[in-house]
Amino acid sequence: MKRKHYAALVVGAGIAGIRSALDLAESGLKVALIDRRPNIGGVLAQLDHQFPTDACGMCKMLPLTSRDSSSQFCMRKGLFHKNIDILLHTELAALEGDPGKFRASLRQRSTFVDATRCISCGECARVCPVHVPNEFDSGLSTRGAIYLPVPHAIPNHYVVDLDRCTRCWSCFEACPTDAIDFKYAERKDFRVVAALPDAAARTDLGAWLADQNFPLVLAEDGAAALRALEEERTALLLLDLAVADVDPEKVMRRGLELYPDLDVILVAGPGDQDRAEALIQAGARQWLARPLERTVVRWLDHHYIRTVSDVTHELEVGAVVLACGFDCYDPAQAGQLWGRGVVPGVVTALEFERMCSGTGPTGGRLVRPDGRPARNLAWLQCVGSRDPARGADYCSGICCMFAIKEARLARQADPEAQATIFAMDVRTYGKDFQRYRDEAESRDGVRFVRTRIHSIEPDPEADGVPITWMDDDGTLRREVFDLAVLATGARPPEGSDRLAEAAGIALDANGFAAAPPLQPARTSRLGVYAAGAFNEPRDIAESVIQAGAAALNAARTFKVHSPPREEQAAPAPEYRDVTREAPRMLVVLCDSCPTLRTRVDMPSLAARLGGLSSVVRVECVQGACSAPGWQAVGALAEELRPNRILIGACMPYAYVPRLRELGAQIGLDPAFMDVADIYTPTFPGTATPGTALETEVYTALAMAAVKLAGAEPSPVLGRLPVTPRALVVGGGLAGMTAAMALADMGHDVCLSEKAPRLGGMAAAHHTLLGGGDPRRVMEDLAEQVMRHPNIKVFTQSRIMLSMGRAGRFMTALATAEGPAITVEHGATIIATGGREVVPDSYGYRVHKTVLRQSELEARLADGSLDTGALGGVAMIQCVESREEPRNYCSRVCCAAALKNALTLKERNRDLPVYVFYRDIMSYGFSERFYTEARGRGVLFIRYSPADKPRVSFGQDHRPTIAAFDPVLGRELRVTVDLLALSVGLEPGDNEDLAEVFSLPTGPDGFFREAESKWRPVEFLRQGIFVCGVAHSPRNMSETIASAEAAAQKAARILAHKDVVGGRVTAQVRHSLCSLCGRCVSACAYGARRIDLERGRVEIDELLCQGCGSCAAVCPNSAGVLTGFKDEQVLSVIDAALAEPTQPTEATP
Amino acid sequence: MATIARIDIDETGPVRAVQGFLKTLLARGGVDAVLTPAHLVPAGTVMPTLISDPEALERADPLSPAFPLNAARLVSRLTRGSTSGRHVAAVLRPCEIRAFIELVKLNQGGLDNVLLIGLDCPGAMTNADFRVFGLEGDPLERTREFLRAVAGGESRPGGRSLAGACRVCEHPAPEGADLILGLHGADLDRAIPVLGNTARGEGVLTRLGLPDAPGAPGRREALDALTARNTAARDAMFEATAARTASLAGLAEYLSGCVNCYNCRVACPVCYCKECVFLTDVFDYKPDQYLGWARKRGAIKLPADTVFFHLTRLAHMSTACVGCGQCSNACPNDVPVMELFRTVAERTQGAFGYQPGRSPDEAPPMTVFREDEFSEMTGEAH
Amino acid sequence: MTRSPLTLAADPALADAMREVRAMLAACMQCGTCSASCPNAQSMDMTPRRMWRLVLLGRADTVFSSGAFWMCSNCYACTLRCPRGLPLTSAMNALKRIAGASGHPALARHGAFYRAFLDNVRRRGRVRETEMMMRYFGAAGPREALRFTPLGLRMLRRGKVRLELGAGRWDTALAPLFESAARLEGKEARP
Amino acid sequence: MNTATATRYAYYPGCSLTGTASEYDASVRLVLERLGVELAEIPGWTCCGASAAPAVSALLALALPARNLALAERDLPGCDVLAPCSACYLNLLTARQEARRDHRLHARVQEALEGEHLPWANAAPVRHLLDVLANDIGPARIAAAAQRPLAGLVLAPYYGCQTLRPYAAFDDPEHPTSMDAVLRAAGAEVLEWDKGARCCGASLSTTRRQAALPRIAEILRAAAGADAVVTVCPMCQMNLEAFQRQAGLPGPVAVLYLSQVLGLAMGLDPGQVQLGRNLAVPPGFLARLREVPPAPGEVVQATGTG
């Protein structure tokens, strides 16, 4: 088999896999994207709402430059990119070879529905007698054995769930296009030889298989079986080990000798099962229990169809990205603990999400199981998380936020809804999460109860879900809720152990991919990377960042290790100029499917179309989607040389790449071609009768025809040469990581650092939670950066001025040594970091007994602190943090506190350590250290922001901390020798830089990314990227991931000779423009501005995404969209309206 | 509390008093010119006039029932992009002020160099009626007669009906003005109260040194009564118009007199396009197209696109319609354009909770996106 | 419970006695699962969660003056459910043990039943329930005995209670074990 | 786990079964005999320490039960130790599990037992009566032996705590079900309830009566739909049967040992299973029992004995 070559294989087409694939594809690399599911999108296919917008927004990930390479519609529906090949229902079976030239075997399971024939009419599902829970609705609705995995994909084909299929053939008979293929006819080529010494068994088997269409030879002994095998080619040998005359092994060996791909299936009883196992080692496929039951028919059917339908793909790939995401913990694993199955109204968060969805089983209404509206709702946090007893000594990191989101959604869906979230800690550690939570509490009245609900006990008396918990003050409370939502945590995805084996990587103790410290995208195998949540549970934004980091590593591996390959770059197609020609349109109608042919009078339709002024020829073609059909279209085009081509067929999206090819073939810009959907109106159930149907089909075609007739060639705008150099601002961990990544990929990098030496904040770390030597890492990194031939470092430099746009910026740097220098660069990475807050509270800077965590860490590291002599240490978390004006979590302070507390306990086991905290943010795998700190006797005392700890100092400066302990219900006072303050991070001097680069900053002074979830390291302004603490507080590992993600985004630009915008962009007819500015306000992409000097509205073609909002708000068509002229639109409306159903005269 | 001064009226009457006020303004108010309706010599026709010579103010008559055009567009020309540092005062009716504020929002004018003097509007006559009423006898006397009749509650002051738009106008007070000439409820034989309505207005008022007034007695009551009467008339008009235009056929009938002269568009103060889309190539149909339509439908009325023209204008401008009625005033064929616009605008403005001209800080609908609006269409909430 | 502030004064003797329990509980995160699961929490004067907290804070005085742990009926619900997998029932028993060994009369009274029981075990090898109860009443006082009278009579009627007096067959069976246990535990008690 | 062939167990009755729970002991012996299981009483067994030992001495809490395991190992090698009393069972099991978990603990206990020259390899598995009935013997054999199935009788299976927790040795410790099949095999219906694993208050009924009564009341009230509550522990049995009036129950609720129930189903008469010793077998229950039809010819067929 010829191996197809790809730069990378991405396993898992969830959000992280898609992001990685797009990142690679956009930098010009070929990617194979596979998923074991029959659809892309992962868990997000099921989710309609994402915080903070409470909407979806996944499409924001689509490429903004070179837009024509990719589909531009809802990504939950589908994704097409010219550099991405998607294989669904496919798993990685084996990965051999070395980085740069891995050999990957993929196993693709058949869906048994021919995608080229299925028209998604749904007739098959209507007749399927099977009803099983529908995974898409989390089991809240049912589906058949033939079903649509997701309701919204494009193209959307039915698939057969073979395990559930009863093979009643109803769907096969109902399918109007013969798309369902159970390989019935081909069975005659699947010869079965059954060697069964027992006569009754032979009789039974003969009878059972009588109408199964398999050629069956029944052999009564080994000799007969051997004869039968030699007689004719055989596909399957059913061999009972009880055959006595010839050693069964001999029969088997002979069979395999004759036909190497023969399936040998043994039949064994209790006595010879060991033998059977042994023979499987020798080449048998499997064994069945003697005596054979009638179920063998079904088994054979499934075995046969899998054998003949499933396919194996062999690829050569440069690198592999594993993005298999996570599975939600299944609360049923704990039996009835959470009332699953016994208490109605207990749902998982995913089920609740489906209920909130307009396309979900309840149409977006929140209802109790008895149909009454669900108003009183409870969320139970940490179901299957932070629960070592259930194998999860980690925090899933995402559930607190999705519970809050769902609580807010509930409130939106029903203003009377009351939401209660039961949680131990509310982990709002991400950017802007704290405010989101505060808003949920203050605006939406979400109630947070600090407890962990252990279980839900059924109570037949209760009108709903009874929940009992212990309040802080020790009273047992009970409340009955309409719905209880289990915030089920993240678990390694099903089959991850198999995948790990296939990919040759190690898993960690939790079952996720093991990552080396400070190499967040790496796995244990060189060249194989982990994206998204596959090596630690992560939310969308962090998954997207992680995906970018994995993509970067994959691209770097490909670049470094792949043998150079002569890629014959396809020349840019040459299109002839047809603008001056009168429209000559070829109309091709696909009439292969009977739904159209039998309902519409095709000659009459052709005749009516022929009457349109621009149409020169109307032809019918059999199966335009099939290879011969498409050749016929090509031949017609060659013959006629039309300057417009309209195709009437089904599923227009599927034709996009074909039109591109046809365009190149006949030299016609694909903008002059279109495909109109003429099949949807003909589907069973939707069809209107007779002439009305014909008119509907005609109208669809006529509309497309007049639109095409008025089409204008729209040259791709905004082609801009790229300066192959990146400017990285900031020489800390983020900046150096990004610089190294880009330099390694062969790009020039200019690194500007304002301090005299590289290192930034991370250089101040002495230890890491979980081990590792950050000093060493930082020193090595700095040295590599300094030595790298592609990197030019400017320390003590400052950015003064910057102009330009993606592909070409000019930036002036002031340096300490001499005059300002100007750097020309194609991409910019902002990595200016931040700094530790200097607090004004708790006696800091007044008493030497009060330190910041970093200072404590330093004193612990340099040995200046005698831990043995200490009588007690206290720590206060969230100092001047997580409340206005610094209302955000800095992520690193809880880890720092745990790190220092553990070090203290390590050195002095009996040293009392008290941590006063609000919520311990030990998200993800760092939860382990929280458990450990508790285990070592560190005392954690929760306080509320309304009642903070009070610190007083004695004569000897020893601090006494007094705080209300909610568990004890009284004030607690401790006197200690040292007080360490966890102060959090604040942004550096971002405002100046924001001014220079025209970048937005958020309410806390961190840079405001383009979109918090989908474009976390980008700015709305193209070509400038952000990473590290400049974006938001993050730890070293997260900083590295974001830096690599940002580097990947920059590489995406630098990898090309020029930056290309889209074909459809807005333009301004300046003579008509009144400069009212409505289009400027309406532009969602910031692509328009009023140039006051020139007195006109200017458009940045790279930023313009061709959405048309500007044209819509402009009252006099001064704002126009190429390809969507008013005249065209009016003509289309004309064509759509007022075509009376009258008998058509004969064609003139 | 706004500062209130008064313009005393002697036997020469209110118009002279207002002229005196404008003179004071030119002298001490820091303005370089005053835009005010004034009688042209010798015909007496009233037109907006930009006056910088105090003497020329003798012809000014902002109280006249003449309303030849909405002056908002003129003020926008005087203010748009002005960097001269010169200031203009403009005496305007409430609907002119509202239209001007709409234009400001659309970058067609600026508030920086203009002092808006608003009139408590007694209403105006159509051009045709004013030609009959206002051009006979001493023009200033005619104005005084008109004001007396209005104050007396006559429904046909001077024997003429007020213009249709004025009869249904629910905004007779100039809310966005810097200074308000408080005619409503005032005794026009004694004094007109001048109300400072903005910080700028109050500042100017202080500089003018006018005598203080105790307030504007009777103004609120008079305004309320007028608003109530007009609102009732307006609702009746809405009902009648809606009934006539409920179907496409009804609408075509309603607009059947339209000859595509576009006068209404030209007269419209908020139609701000440099060049209307109906004058561009978009509507340059090919001969084939006309014939095609004719063949399809058997008959096609020409000019085509009359209904389309009004629908387009409704789509573009109804949210900004201030109800000044100049469209109807301008129509040669008495198509009741104002009635249609106001009826539609009631719905379109209501949908966005938008009142054109209320405040320069309110962004026009469609230029802002609010996630929570139109949830019944987006399906976000249930 | 008093609302006065709780100051963490060092109390080495009591804190020391509880060290074993503190070690068992150290990983506690005060989630309250134990308290919500405890069938007897309503009968305790403080919830298990609060008691564990006090143990961790070394507040032996408060813990033992409360005696909530005496209410533990060894149902193991908390042990089973504790998300940290802590041996909470064992910790309860440890507290009972420390209280009993403290020699403090107030604490000793609570432990009377257990000591009477084990004393019976020591002497008899197998428990003689009737004899054991008699001894318990002797230690716990006459009111306790009166409480049981109706039950005792019912059991007597049903033939469930036999008064076995005098020596029994297993009387000395456990003597060696008790001795070596005392020796071993005594040995360990010494530093 | 025993295979079906191992039908001999080292029997540890425990002190209660020689005293207040003698009816449990008697019925266990009878029933298991009928089921073809041999019980060999551990010679010289002594008290396991009950709930008292852990509250007094950590070492004795393990050494007392370990002594009995050592005896069984020495005198009945190869047998699983079967305990019908849940408290004994848990003490024995705890000794076994803790010693397996912590070899130093194992050594200490061994040291304590050295005085008697009693080696303890910790080799014998510890099994609860219910475990043996449900899993070793199995419903099929029980059904086969049930000559007088208790058709029409609704029984509430009550497991108590120490049968199930903390080790979860043979059943779901929160929602146990092992008794269901056993009771159904006896021909009875099983009450669907959620109190089977609730605590009865245990020795609090002695030390803190007022604290225990609400527990008892909660359980018995929930059993309202059943003809009887079925127990597998003398402590639970005592608490549930002895304090019904104090707990404020409106009327008496029958409480029987599982072995008594099985005995009745096997055709033993109430006297043989010593129903007369139970403190709570109201007349109504005896009447219901008489309604159960005498064994018809076609007794419930044993299915799939394998």
Averaged pLDDT, A991-1013? 90
Instruction: Reply yes or no on whether the pLDDT at B249 is more than 50.
Output: yes
Which has the minimum average pLDDT: A232-246, A935-949, A1118-1132? A1118-1132
Q: C80: distance to nearest CA of chain D, Å?
A: 5
pLDDT at D201: 86
Q: A913-917 and A873-876 as β-strands: parallel, antiparallel, unpaired?
A: parallel
Q: Which of D171, D172, D174, D193 to probe the A interface (max A CBs under 10 A)?
A: D174
> What tokens appear for C134 in the block?
């008699």
B chain contacts of residue A55, beta-carbon cutoff 8 Å: 371, 380
Nearest CA in chain D to A455: D174
Q: Chain A: which residues have CB within 8 Å of chain B?
A: 53, 55, 358, 364-365, 412-414, 613, 1071-1078, 1081-1082, 1084, 1090, 1113, 1115-1118, 1126-1127, 1130, 1134, 1138-1140
The rounded distance, in Å, linking the Cα atoms of A217 and A219 is 6
Q: Which residue matches tokens 């359980």?
A: D219
Say if the Cβ atoms of B382 and A1138 lie within 8 Å: no
- Domains in chain D (CATH in brackets) are 8-128 (1.20.1050.140), 146-291 (3.40.50.11810)
The rounded distance, in Å, linking the Cα atoms of B246 and B244 is 6
Say if the Cβ atoms of A335 and D194 lie within 8 Å: no
Per-residue confidence band for C133, with pLDDT thresholds at 50, 70 and 90: confident
Q: A751: distance to nearest CA of chain D, Å?
A: 58
In the sheet that holds D154-157, the strands lie side by side as: D189-190, D154-157, D228-231, D254-257
CB A556 within 8 A of CB A744: yes
Instruction: Reply yes or no on whether the pLDDT at A23 is more than 50.
Output: yes
Instruction: Reply yes or no on whether the pLDDT at A185 is more than 50.
Output: yes
Nearest CA in chain A to C3: A970
Buried b (16+ CB within 10 A) or exposed e, A366-394: bbbeeeeebbbbbbbbbbbbbbbebebbb
Average pLDDT for chain A: 88
A vs B, Cβ pairs < 8 A, gives 73
Please write the tens of the pLDDT for every residue from A688-718. Answer: 666 788 888 888 899 999 888 888 766 655 5
Instruction: Reply yes or no on whether the pLDDT at A1116 is more than 60.
Output: yes
Q: Is D63 on the interface with C (CB under 8 A)?
A: yes
Q: Chains A, D in contact: 3+ Cβ pairs under 8 A?
A: yes
**Do C86 and C115 share a domain, yes or no?**
no
CB A1064 within 8 A of CB A1123: yes
The rounded distance, in Å, linking the Cα atoms of A482 and C135 is 54
Please write the tens of the pLDDT for every residue from A32-53. Answer: 999 999 888 888 888 888 777 7
Residue C3 in any domain: the answer is no
**Domain residue limits at C87:** 12-107
The rounded distance, in Å, linking the Cα atoms of A773 and A758 is 17
Average pLDDT for chain D: 88
pLDDT at A357: 84
More confident residue, D85 or A118: D85
**Which chains are within 8 Å of A by 3+ CB pairs?**
B, C, D
> What tokens appear for A329 in the block?
């913990």
Nearest CA in chain C to A468: C36
The rounded distance, in Å, linking the Cα atoms of A420 and A441 is 10
CB A532 within 8 A of CB A125: no
Per-residue confidence band for C10, with pLDDT thresholds at 50, 70 and 90: very low
Q: Is A336 on the interface with C (CB under 8 A)?
A: no
pLDDT at D299: 40
Instruction: Reply yes or no on whether the pLDDT at C15 is more than 90.
Output: no
pLDDT at B69: 94
pLDDT at B122: 93
The rounded distance, in Å, linking the Cα atoms of B362 and B101 is 10
Averaged pLDDT, A169-192? 88
pLDDT at C1: 39
Buried b (16+ CB within 10 A) or exposed e, A796-818: ebbbeebebbbbbbebebbeeee
**Do C47 and C30 share a domain, yes or no?**
yes
Q: Is D208 on the interface with C (CB under 8 A)?
A: yes
Instruction: Reply yes or no on whether the pLDDT at D260 is more than 90.
Output: yes
Residues 6+ apart with CB under 8 A from A678: A589, A590, A596, A648, A649, A650, A697, A700, A701
Query: DSSP state, A688?
Result: P
In this complex, the residue of D165, D200, D212 whose CB is nearest that of residue C79 is D165
Boundaries of every domain in chain B: 4-229, 243-374
Amino acid code (one letter) for A895: A
pLDDT at A906: 93
D chain contacts of residue A335, beta-carbon cutoff 8 Å: 172, 174-175
Please write the tens of the pLDDT for every residue from C157-185. Answer: 777 776 666 777 888 888 888 888 888 88
pLDDT at C5: 53
pLDDT at B382: 38
The rounded distance, in Å, linking the Cα atoms of A514 and A284 is 35
Please write the tens of the pLDDT for every residue from C82-125. Answer: 888 899 999 999 998 888 777 666 666 677 778 888 888 888 88
Which has the minimum average pLDDT: A134-148, A1057-1071, B3-17, D75-89? A1057-1071
Q: Is B228 on the interface with A (CB under 8 A)?
A: no
> What tokens appear for B16 in the block?
């002279």
pLDDT at A44: 83
CB C44 within 8 A of CB C63: no
Residue C2 in any domain: the answer is no
Say if the Cβ atoms of A1074 and B368 lie within 8 Å: no
C chain contacts of residue D68, beta-carbon cutoff 8 Å: none
Please write the tens of the pLDDT for every residue from A334-347. Answer: 877 888 888 899 99
Burial class (CB in 10 A: 0-12, 13-18, 19+), A1069: middle
The rounded distance, in Å, linking the Cα atoms of B170 and A63 is 52
pLDDT at D90: 94
| Domain final position from C78, C107, C136 | C107
pLDDT at C165: 63
Say if the Cβ atoms of B379 and A358 lie within 8 Å: yes
Please write the tens of the pLDDT for every residue from A205-217. Answer: 999 988 888 999 9
Q: Chains D, B in contact: 3+ Cβ pairs under 8 A?
A: no
**Do C145 and C185 share a domain, yes or no?**
yes
Q: Is C94 on the interface with D (CB under 8 A)?
A: yes
The rounded distance, in Å, linking the Cα atoms of B20 and B29 is 13
Per-residue confidence band for B366, with pLDDT thresholds at 50, 70 and 90: confident
Per-residue confidence band for D5, with pLDDT thresholds at 50, 70 and 90: very low
C chain contacts of residue D252, beta-carbon cutoff 8 Å: none
Which residues of chain A from 178 to 207 reach within 8 Å of chain D, CB to CB? none
**Do C73 and C148 share a domain, yes or no?**
no
Residue A398 C-beta-side C-alpha neighbours within 13 Å: 25
Say if the Cβ atoms of A974 and C27 lie within 8 Å: no
**Do C95 and C24 share a domain, yes or no?**
yes
Please write the tens of the pLDDT for every residue from A440-471. Answer: 999 999 999 998 888 898 888 889 999 988 88
Residue C132 in any domain: the answer is yes
Buried b (16+ CB within 10 A) or exposed e, A876-904: bbbbbbbeeebebbbbbbbbbbbbbbbbb
**Do C28 and C88 share a domain, yes or no?**
yes
Say if the Cβ atoms of C28 and A934 lie within 8 Å: yes
pLDDT at B2: 52
Which has the minimum average pLDDT: A135-139, A171-175, A875-879? A135-139
Burial class (CB in 10 A: 0-12, 13-18, 19+), B334: exposed
More confident residue, B57 or A335: B57
Structural domains in chain C (count): 2
Q: A220: distance to nearest CA of chain C, Å?
A: 59
Q: Is the bond preceding residue C191 a cis peptide, omega within 30 degrees?
A: no
Cβ neighbours around A986 below 10 Å, total: 21
Instruction: Reply yes or no on whether the pLDDT at D125 is more than 50.
Output: yes
Residue C15 C-beta-side C-alpha neighbours within 13 Å: 11
| Domain final position from C107, C123, C148 | C107
Q: Which of D194, D198, D199 to probe the A interface (max A CBs under 10 A)?
A: D194
pLDDT at B41: 80
Q: Is C127 on the interface with D (CB under 8 A)?
A: yes
- From its phi and psi, is residue A90 left (phi > 0), alpha (psi between -120 and 50) or beta? beta
Instruction: Reply yes or no on whether the pLDDT at B235 is more than 80.
Output: yes
Q: Which of C1, C4, C8, C63 to probe the A interface (max A CBs under 10 A)?
A: C8
**Do C118 and C97 share a domain, yes or no?**
no
What phi, psi does B376 have (nearest 5°)? -70, -20
pLDDT at C108: 66
Say if the Cβ atoms of D175 and A458 lie within 8 Å: no
Query: DSSP state, A722?
Result: P
Residue C38 in any domain: the answer is yes
Q: C56: distance to nearest CA of chain D, Å?
A: 20
pLDDT at D85: 94
Sign of CA dihedral C5, C7, C13, C18: positive
The rounded distance, in Å, linking the Cα atoms of A156 and A551 is 28
Say if the Cβ atoms of B317 and A1115 lie within 8 Å: yes
What phi, psi does C43 have (nearest 5°)? -90, -5
Per-residue confidence band for C190, with pLDDT thresholds at 50, 70 and 90: very low
Q: Is D18 on the interface with C (CB under 8 A)?
A: yes
- Domains in chain A (CATH in brackets) are 4-109+315-325+492-561 (3.50.50.60), 123-174 (no CATH), 185-306 (3.40.50.2300), 328-488 (3.50.50.60), 585-709 (3.40.50), 720-835+987-1059 (3.50.50.60), 838-983 (3.50.50.60), 1066-1121 (3.30.70.20)
- What's the Cα-to-Cα distance from C162 to each of A613, A819, A948, C152, rounded to whole Å? 115, 108, 64, 11
Per-residue confidence band for D304, with pLDDT thresholds at 50, 70 and 90: very low
pLDDT at A129: 93
Please write the tens of the pLDDT for every residue from A1063-1113. Answer: 778 889 898 898 888 898 888 777 888 887 888 998 887 778 888 889 988
Instruction: Reply yes or no on whether the pLDDT at C64 is more than 90.
Output: no
Q: Please report, rounded to a whole number, the percentage of residues in chain B having pLDDT higher than 70.
A: 96
Say if the Cβ atoms of A455 and D194 lie within 8 Å: no
**Which chains are within 8 Å of B by 3+ CB pairs?**
A
Averaged pLDDT, A59-70? 76
Q: Is the complex ipTM more than 0.85?
A: no
pLDDT at A118: 83
